[in-house]
Amino acid sequence: MGIAENLAWMRDFLHRFDIEVKKLNKKEPFWLKCNQCPDGHCCQCIIYTVLSRRDNPFMAEDWWLMVEYAKNHFSSSDRKQLYSNILSKRSSCIFLFDNRCSVHAGRPWTCRFHPYSISFYSGHAQYPVGEIALPSCPAYASSFRIRIGEQYIQKPEILARDESNPMLIRVKLKKQKPLWVLDVTSFIEEYEKQAVTRENTPTPWYKVLALAEEAGGSECDILASYIENVR
């Protein structure tokens, strides 16, 4: 499949995943704090996954969605901010503006399933089976009685699975009352299957670079150069 087909699949994939997250938030309001992120902690403390994972089979598509969003929604000042972020060579996400995601609607899947998901898919080392990383951001650290910036991993006991939506499971955490989380196993399986079945042809990066250049202004010329360097 070419980039157009992959983009169509990915847009649908992200839409379906967002629907499940909304169902989780309705059942477990505890996770709504992520919607009012206080300081972009995760995007500052973790090297941006999409940019650092060179083995990401859909990195071109991830870039396409972010650049497409920037092209359609960024103001001149937004493009200048992106330009400044790239030149700063910071380790945090270049799309983080004033501690907020500037391409939130077009952000990659890896940015969407943290921190309220757990997987039981054993086909990829990136997703440890049955583990959940407790959030150490300012919004959640005190709830889990851990330090801000501290990494705390658990393999929680599963207490229940929602009969109407099996993707929602209730788990017992050591430092918190039982919480509902999202079992993303089926999504990971689909993601991996889509990666395996895609054509083994060079990714058309020139199209992504052209999209970046078309976004307008010298600020996006340097974005195109940045994409070229991190792919």
Q: What pLDDT digit, counting tens, does each position of 15-34 carry?
A: 999 999 999 999 999 999 88
What is the pLDDT at residue 1?
63
What phi and psi, each to the nearest 5 degrees, are found at residue 13? -60, -50
pTM of structure:
0.90
Buried b (16+ CB within 10 A) or exposed e, 48-86: bbbbeeeebebbbbbbbbbbbbbbeebeeebbebbbebb
**pLDDT score at 199:** 66
What's the pLDDT score for residue 36? Answer: 79
pLDDT score for 48? 46
176 touches 144 (CB < 8 A): yes
What are the φ/ψ torsions at residue 178 (nearest 5 degrees)? Answer: -55, 140
Domain that holds residue 171: 3-230
**Into how many domains does the chain fold?**
1
Alpha-carbon radius of gyration of the chain? 18
Please report, in tens digits, the pLDDT of each residue of the chain (231 residues total): 678 889 999 999 999 999 999 999 999 999 998 887 877 888 876 544 556 566 678 888 999 999 999 999 999 999 999 999 989 877 788 898 988 899 999 999 888 888 899 999 987 666 789 998 888 888 888 888 888 878 788 899 999 999 999 999 999 988 788 999 999 999 999 998 998 877 655 668 888 999 999 888 888 889 999 888 877
Q: Tell me the per-residue pLDDT of 32-61, one tens digit each, with 9 for 90 and over.
A: 988 878 778 888 765 445 565 666 788 889
Write out the two tokens for 53. Answer: 């994972």
Q: What are phi and psi of 152, to 5 degrees?
A: -130, 115
Mean pLDDT of the chain: 86
